[in-house]
Amino acid sequence: MEEGNKNDIVISVGQRPTIMVTNDDGIGAPGLQALVHVLVSTHHFNVLVCAPDQEMSAVSHSVTWVHPLSVKQVDIDGATAFAVSGTPADCASLGVSKALFPSIPDLVISGINKGSNCGYHIIYSGTVAGAREACLNGVPSLSISYNWYGEYSKEKMEKELSDGGKKSDVHDFKLAAEACLPLITAVMSEIRNNTYPQGCFLNIDLPTNVADHKGFKLTKQGKSSIKLGWKQVTSNMQRSKIGTVTDTAASQEHLFFSREIRRPQVDEGDSDYRFLQEGYITVTPLGALSPAETGPQAYFQTWLSSVVDTQL
């Protein structure tokens, strides 16, 4: 047996657990690359990668149904990796199916996402969907997101930095991956002991200043969101597979509309977003299903009975 520190899994030679990594930012994204590098460098895990071949942010839990997926092996040091022409949910499903890899991974990790996934953003997140899909297939999973700060207007950036904000850089993804190692190794220990809960997965968000985080905080999904609107634009701005934006001239037959951010809606309660903003690494258990809250459930129980009565 190999001896390790308190954050290590004690493993036997030839029996290393397997972690499969996916994401929604694409297989070349720095968050995924940093996570894989950190996992490989521990020498404690067999690392597999099955991730989209291009950015798939905010696709939620969409899946490819009609057309077959294209899969291509790519080089990532220390890992067996495939780029897939599908969504994060597609990648998670394929990766745990034994159709691509010879065995089912012990754990699926989706991330590290460039941007937090708290509150209502969880609904839209392809990162969270990757973990949810693994959970639906009976495989323990985590979704990990880093609260990237930097994609704002110059004026807003300068103001917030002057107020003590911290601008993110690519190195922060490595720090985020390292900060998650205690959670990852602890989850793996529970899996190996057959004590990890079924039917749920963990959504993890790391604060912008991850180097000075305040520790782990168990939270619940809140109701924070960004209100989006639409504005008419004069051309169709299309993002290519390599991430550049091309301008397609508008014709007289088409109108073009683009999303715009109207205002944030912040949940002030005891929630994931609040504690993330306070500098904690938030750990939020999520269910694979989305049952209604107790109040609406009780209301519709009475309502449905009245509907039935009126039909008699």
Q: What is the pLDDT along the chain (312 residues), one digit of tens a residue?
A: 333 443 443 434 458 999 999 999 999 999 999 999 999 999 999 999 999 999 999 999 999 999 999 999 999 999 999 999 999 999 999 999 999 999 999 999 999 999 999 998 899 999 999 999 999 999 999 999 999 987 543 444 444 444 456 789 999 999 999 999 999 999 999 999 999 998 899 999 999 999 999 999 999 998 887 777 888 988 765 544 444 445 555 456 889 998 887 766 666 677 899 999 999 999 999 998 877 777 888 888 888 888 877 665
41 and 104 share a domain?
yes
219 and 230 share a domain?
no
CA dist 195 → 14, 15, 186, 236, 298 (Å): 23, 19, 11, 51, 33
Give the list of residues 6+ apart from residue 118 with CB closer than 8 angstroms, or none: 205, 221, 222, 224, 271, 272, 273, 276, 282, 284
133 and 53 share a domain?
yes
The answer to the question of residue 301 being in a domain is: no
97 and 201 share a domain?
yes
Give the list of residues 6+ apart from residue 5 with CB closer than 8 angstroms, or none: none
The answer to the question of residue 147 being in a domain is: yes
* DSSP conformational letter for 211: G
> Any idea what the CATH number is for the domain that residue 82 is in?
3.40.1210.10
d(CA 23, CA 45): 18
196 and 276 share a domain?
yes
40 and 27 share a domain?
yes
Closest CA to 68 of 89, 86, 88: 86
134 and 175 share a domain?
yes
Sign of CA dihedral 53, 56, 60, 63: negative
Please state the φ and ψ torsions of residue 29, each to the nearest 5 degrees: -65, 145
218 and 237 share a domain?
no
The answer to the question of residue 3 being in a domain is: no
235 and 87 share a domain?
no
The answer to the question of residue 7 being in a domain is: no
Give the total number of structural domains in the chain.
2
Residue with tokens 């963990």: 202
Residue with tokens 């520190």: 5
Range of the domain at 229: 225-264
180 and 113 share a domain?
yes
